[in-house]
Amino acid sequence: MIDMTKMMLVTYLTCLSSLAFGQRILPQVWFNENNISDKSIQVGDASMLYGLNGQGGAEVEWDYFWKQDFQRAKIYFYPQELKVVSGGLVKLDSLFGVELRFDLRNDRVEFKSPDGIKVIGAEKVSHVLIQDSEGLISQFINPKEFQLASLKGFLMVLGVKGKRTVLQSKEVLVQRPNYNTALDTGSKEYQIAKKNHFYYWNGNHILNIDSKKDVAKLLESLRLNGKKYLKNSNNKLKIDEDYRDLAHFIFESDSK
């Protein structure tokens, strides 16, 4: 007997390529009903990566990545043909059973393969499902789906309801050596820092919500008491979990 649930998921994913801004997000129901699980993200032998370019040389010394470790994933591409090293063309659709990571500084995706690290530009990727070491699955969307074409890397979905969603990006900051010889203070080495940014997509436009002031303004626009929420929730609005809590508050308030 055909598994209708799996058929519906495949049909849904197939339709994603023709959707408008912000509509490549998988609805929360797929996660709630466990349609995307450990069994649906399995790591293979990476033989499907033969056509991608190799990184060459040693692995990157600095941590320019969303997460430095490779993670198992499903990756979906914008419909296109890719010219491979051999000179031929390969139609890009999707890859299952791969391990990857996001290189934020160079705006590309890196794949782990038996032949070393393979790479592809982030602009060729529409969205990615990634499973972490604890088995939790997150979805990452190309920023241009939310009118942020100049943003490097991907946007992680922290909460979604209908056409609205709360999102996170990471920015890599390269800090030059600031050693002061006279005072013998500072660092002699380059330092890598990562800065989180957060957004609210209302279905048509993207809003920055990096600060408590931004969040209070957003909540007021949604006819919610921003000052009361910030006081009673004790939400510091610093990390992704804080913004997951914010998303939960916003979307749960709709149903009251």
What are the pLDDT digits (tens) for 70-112? Answer: 999 988 888 877 666 666 776 777 888 789 999 999 999 999 8
What are the pLDDT digits (tens) for 1-27? Answer: 444 434 333 333 344 433 444 455 554
Answer for the pair 169, 182: CB distance below 8 angstroms, yes or no. Answer: no
SS3 of residue 151 by DSSP: coil
Q: How far is CA 164 from CA 101, 214, 230, 251, in A?
A: 26, 17, 21, 9
What are the pLDDT digits (tens) for 173-214? Answer: 887 767 677 776 777 677 788 999 999 999 889 999 999 999
| Per-residue pLDDT, 253 | 86
| Per-residue pLDDT, 23 | 52
Dist CA 137 CA 134 (whole Å): 9
Q: How far is CA 93 from CA 80, 126, 128, in A?
A: 8, 10, 12
Q: In this model, does residue 163 exceed pLDDT 70?
A: yes
| Per-residue pLDDT, 116 | 82
| Per-residue pLDDT, 156 | 95
Tell me which amino acid residue 193 is: A
What are the pLDDT digits (tens) for 237-251? Answer: 999 999 999 999 999
Pick from 74, 75, 73, 71: nearest CA to 133: 71
Strand partners for 91: 81
What are the pLDDT digits (tens) for 126-161? Answer: 999 998 888 888 999 999 989 888 899 999 999 998
Q: Computed over its alpha carbons, how large is the radius of gyration of the chain? A: 20
Q: In this model, does residue 36 exceed pLDDT 50?
A: no
Tell me, yes or no, if the pTM score tops 0.75.
Answer: yes
Greater pLDDT, 137 or 34: 137
| Per-residue pLDDT, 43 | 46
